[in-house]
Amino acid sequence: MKFLLLTLIAHQPDAVTGEKKSPAERLQDVVESAALAEELGYDGFAVGERHEDPFISSSPPVVLSNIAARTSHIGLFTAVTTLSLLDPVRAFEDYSTLDNLSGGRLELIIGKGNGAAQAELLQSEVAPVLRTQIPSRPLSVTRRYVVQ
């Protein structure tokens, strides 16, 4: 059994104090939490991708890159990458760079998302085109070529 922590990086007032940190402070808290998770022996830390209030997790590869620089062995997970909203080539390049910089610690999880923006896109005429952009081979096979 493996244990990981997951965040969508909500940017809301603290439930106890009512204080609302700046976005920079909130993002730094996430990085500190990941470093603490590694210190406590967790197997992974996941950052979800959201593009709606109250979340500020619109760029998981940037956040995970900062976490990779601050840690040495904890697994880095996306939870999930909303590929339907991204340029597939750019996403592949960003995440393969992150995987290489982190020493192969990235676990890329792709999903359709659950926000209004994703739902509209997936119900449009763009959806069939986007589906053709996802590799037919499993990512584990594709990953072998990225890392080498």
Q: Are 64 and 31 in contact (CB under 8 A)?
A: no
Long-range contacts of 118-121 (CB under 8 A, 24+ apart): 118/82, 118/84, 118/85, 121/84, 121/85
Name residues whose C-beta falls within 8 Å of residue 31's C-beta, 6 or more positions apart in sequence.
63, 66, 67, 70
Which residue range forms the structural domain that includes residue 97? 4-147
Residue 30 maps to which CATH number? 3.20.20.30
Residue 46 corresponds to which tokens in the numbers above? 């996941």
Tell me which H or E stretch contains 88. helix 88-101
Domain count, the chain: 1
pLDDT (tens place) for every residue of the chain, 148 residues total: 999 999 999 999 999 999 999 999 999 999 999 999 999 999 999 999 988 889 999 999 999 999 999 999 999 999 989 887 888 889 999 999 999 999 999 999 988 766 666 666 555 555 566 556 555 544 444 444 444 4
pLDDT of residue 123: 57
How far is it, in rounded angstroms, from Cα 88 to Cα 46?
20
